[in-house]
Structure 1
Amino acid sequence: MAKSKTLVKSKKEEKKPVEAPLTTKVANGTPYQLDPAQVEKAAAALVSHMRKHAQAQEEKAGKKSLVADEDDAEDNDQPIFLNVATKTHVHDSQRLKPTKLPLPHPIIGDNVRICIFTKDPQRAYKDLVASDSFPAPLRSKIGRVLGLDKLKKKYKSYESKRQLLAEYDIFMVDDRILKIAADFLGKTFYGTKAKRPLPIRLTAGAPSPEKGSAKKAENMVGTPQGVAKEIEAALHATYVSMSPSLNTSIKVGTLSMTPAQLKQNIEAVVERLVDRHIEHKWRNVRRLEIKGPTTKSLPIWLFDEMWTDEAQVLEHAPVLGLGNGGDKKGEKKRKWDEWEEEMLDEEELAQIKEKRARKNKSSKKEASGDGGAGAISKEKRSKLKKAALQSVPEALVASS
């Protein structure tokens, strides 16, 4: 018998102990939370596996260099991702916009070259970066400030965009021109997440515009301190774009990090992500996993309940009101026979019963093989018997 698809709570299942649970429920606050020991254990196993694999690949290829410096090691640092699977699709447009999630341990190194795409005129933002109030260490990382008009004129071809992509490590874009820049740069920059431009507010630090002055807000330029703070925040964060699907991948660390650092980054990302970007919060989370670019996923959290809303859950299995299908069919036929006997005349009722009896008799005859499609007449059977006897030698017939 097929099991009912309706979700039903079972008190026995709730009381049954589970070995090494990945879900931890608390009495106060959020109903779910990560298990720090499980997260660090999975991070340590993943890092160990990735390092052994990388070492084996280097030894196999014979490219391991004894004079490699720290910068080369940093360039070859592999990313580590957090995979988030939800029970229902994320369909809120506000949750699908790219958003930065602060990290305790940044995944972007110090020795990076930054290119910033700005709203026109670009001279205002070049002067801002060159200002004495702008932090000198951060200024040394910014290799270029490129306005939108100059970007469109100078980098029209695919080859020129590829060349620009290879010149810098990090790209940032004014959030006011994010959609325009994305349409122009196309798959060259947005085909992968490796160097996708990070949105920043270049109006940071500027006074709030008065009501009704939307044009003034569009042309606003932030302060050196405010913009510098925005860039620093972007360098110390990871970005998430919640796709309208059930799965999302977020970069949370690198291979050079320790398991403890990875654990802290994962906890910071999960806390902010679940609270602000997933509908129904923890109840909509199906599983959380960590993985490398080419490794299998390691689970750090698994769902304990299939539903997202308590209203979808029944305390007991549903009871069918009319029984099974066979009883319902028999009840319907009995009522129809009673109606015939009450409403029809005796002559009409007799004709219907006679017709029904002939039909049943012919059905039984076909089922038994008499008079069916494969049946033959007596005359034809006797002819076949005579023909068979004639083909037998006379000596055999006489002896029988």
Structure 2
Amino acid sequence: MAVQTKAQQKKQLGQKAVEKKNKMQQQQEKQQKKQVQAKQDKQNKTKTKNVVSQQSKKIKKAPLIKATEKKQQKIDGLIENYSEFVKQESAKYEKIKQNTINMIKIDKELVKTAVKALLKYHDSNKKDNQLLESNDDYIYLEIVLSKVPEKYSIRPIQIPLPTPIYSEEFNSRFCIFSRDPQREFKNKIEDLDIPLIAKVQGYKKIPQKFPTHKDKHQLLYSYEQFFCDYKIYDLLRKPLGKLFYERKRFPFPIDCDKVPEYLKEKVGDNYQNYLNDLKNYTYFQMGNGPVYTVKVGREKMDVKDLVKNIINGAYNTIPHILKQKIDHAAVRSISIKTYNSLSLPIYNQLNKEELTQLKASK
């Protein structure tokens, strides 16, 4: 091992001293930066306090606005004051409906002819219909638009019909999803004469009683119409799953406590009348279009009743579609059909190109 000379030892000590000095300088610089940052943070904090204080003073000085009505709050997808909401929507709807009647002229005799042809087709194919798995005996109204709406709602809509398509005669069965415990609602309706309500199911037990896709499929086709307490409407999306959305069979929200204010003029304060009134409507779930179908009749109904239901069904359904920023000119056609038949048109609207061709051919 080589012995270091005095010069080498001196040089090594000098390097260590320089390194020590550099290290001390770096530590001092870090300390200075921390002090500067702390000072800036303190200034920013003080500035923020001053701004908040000034804003607070402005708020205190601002005049208080007394609300004339309780602020509306959304609960489970529906507003708290549902009756007031329905009144406002009804006013808009009636205005659009009147415009629809004026703009879209449906020929009653043409509807009658189409109904007779459809029933004749059904009778001639009765054997084939019996071989099909589906026992669907509905008459459907089909509305086709020339463009797709920018917005749409998936919440079911009640469409009033002159002649009910749900009744004991048709063996109709309704199911209501209630809040838990379900026994409270069952006790409420236990002594009421409501023949179409066949099932009350607490929503929290849906995953337990119908855990698989097959179970939900069986539930879906066990009842013709589903309803739910409006307070749990949004809570049903997960337990029912996408099957109910895909088949457009999502429950229509009802009041499970009392008769809604907006219906008291029609059914009074009688809860039994309110529940029985549910059969006087068809239920339309809009979807994104541009083709819409809604049940408006049964194949066993009289021709005159079917004609009334089809015309009223069209004029009561179209305004709900037109509320989505669609004008009357976009209604391309209106037809009727059964589950397995072709569509028979009862109204057609020519576009500009077709009108030009028609004029040129004359």
Q: TM-score under structure 1 normalisation?
A: 0.54
Conserved 8 A contact 1:171-1:196: yes
Query: Residue 306 of structure 2 is aligned with which of 251, 255, 262?
Result: 262
Distance in 1 (CA, whole Å) between partners of 2:268 and 2:202 is: 18
Query: Residue 148 of structure 2 is aligned with which of 82, 89, 93?
Result: 89
Quote the offset at 1:44 in angstroms: 0.9
- The aligned counterpart of 2:205 is 150
Report the CA distance shift for 1:53/1:206 in structure 2 as closer, same or farther (over 3 A): closer
Report the CA distance shift for 1:52/1:163 in structure 2 as closer, same or farther (over 3 A): closer
Distance in 2 (CA, whole Å) between partners of 1:147 and 1:36 is: 45
Conserved 8 A contact 1:102-1:238: yes
Does residue 1:303 correspond to 2:358, yes or no? no
Distance in 2 (CA, whole Å) between partners of 1:99 and 1:243 is: 11
Quote the offset at 1:104 in angstroms: 1.0
- The aligned counterpart of 2:164 is 106
Does residue 1:37 correspond to 2:109, yes or no? yes
SS at match of 2:112: helix
SS at match of 2:247: coil
Query: Residue 178 of structure 1 is aligned with which of 218, 233, 236?
Result: 233
Conserved 8 A contact 1:198-1:234: no
SS at match of 1:101: strand
Alignment of 1:223-372 (within 5 A): 227-278=271-322, 279-306=325-352
Amino acid at match of 1:154: K
Distance in 2 (CA, whole Å) between partners of 1:152 and 1:29 is: 45
SS at match of 2:198: strand
Does residue 1:199 correspond to 2:257, yes or no? no
State the Cα RMSD in Å. Answer: 3.4
Conserved 8 A contact 2:157-2:252: no
Q: Deviations over 1:35-77 (max 9, x none)?
A: 111111111111111111114666xx7x9xxxxxxxxxxx956
- The aligned counterpart of 1:343 is none
- The aligned counterpart of 2:44 is none
Distance in 2 (CA, whole Å) between partners of 1:43 and 1:182 is: 37
- The aligned counterpart of 1:385 is none
Distance in 1 (CA, whole Å) between partners of 2:206 and 2:218 is: 13
Distance in 2 (CA, whole Å) between partners of 1:173 and 1:76 is: 26
Amino acid at match of 1:254: R
State which structure, 1 or 2, has the greater radius of gyration over its C-alpha atoms. Answer: 1
Quote the offset at 1:258 in angstroms: 2.4
Conserved 8 A contact 1:128-1:224: no
Distance in 2 (CA, whole Å) between partners of 1:77 and 1:160 is: 20
Conserved 8 A contact 1:77-1:254: no
Conserved 8 A contact 2:335-2:344: yes
Structure with greater helix percent: 2
Q: Deviations over 1:109-157 (max 9, x none)?
A: 3133332101233233112102x5x3x2x1x443332212222333333
Report the CA distance shift for 1:96/1:54 in structure 2 as closer, same or farther (over 3 A): same
Quote the offset at 1:242 in angstroms: 1.7
Q: Mind listing any 5+ residue stretches in structure 1 that lack a counterpart?
A: 1-25, 64-74, 209-222, 308-400
Distance in 1 (CA, whole Å) between partners of 2:228 and 2:246 is: 16
Distance in 2 (CA, whole Å) between partners of 1:306 and 1:227 is: 52
For these two proteins, the number of residue pairs brought into alignment is 247
Quote the offset at 1:207 in angstroms: 7.2
Conserved 8 A contact 1:171-1:198: yes
Quote the offset at 1:257 in angstroms: 1.6
Report the CA distance shift for 1:49/1:28 in structure 2 as closer, same or farther (over 3 A): closer
Quote the offset at 1:285 in angstroms: 0.7
Q: TM-score under structure 2 normalisation?
A: 0.59
Report the CA distance shift for 1:170/1:183 in structure 2 as closer, same or farther (over 3 A): same
Distance in 2 (CA, whole Å) between partners of 1:238 and 1:292 is: 16
SS at match of 1:300: strand
Conserved 8 A contact 1:106-1:237: yes
Q: Deviations over 1:6-56 (max 9, x none)?
A: xxxxxxxxxxxxxxxxxxxx9997133211111111111111111111146
Conserved 8 A contact 1:83-1:247: yes
- The aligned counterpart of 1:322 is none
Amino acid at match of 1:80: I
Report the CA distance shift for 1:92/1:226 in structure 2 as closer, same or farther (over 3 A): farther
Amino acid at match of 1:112: S
Report the CA distance shift for 1:37/1:177 in structure 2 as closer, same or farther (over 3 A): same
Distance in 2 (CA, whole Å) between partners of 1:231 and 1:96 is: 23
Report the CA distance shift for 1:166/1:85 in structure 2 as closer, same or farther (over 3 A): closer
Conserved 8 A contact 2:141-2:293: yes
Q: Mind listing any 5+ residue stretches in structure 2 that lack a counterpart?
A: 1-97, 354-362
Report the CA distance shift for 1:284/1:231 in structure 2 as closer, same or farther (over 3 A): farther
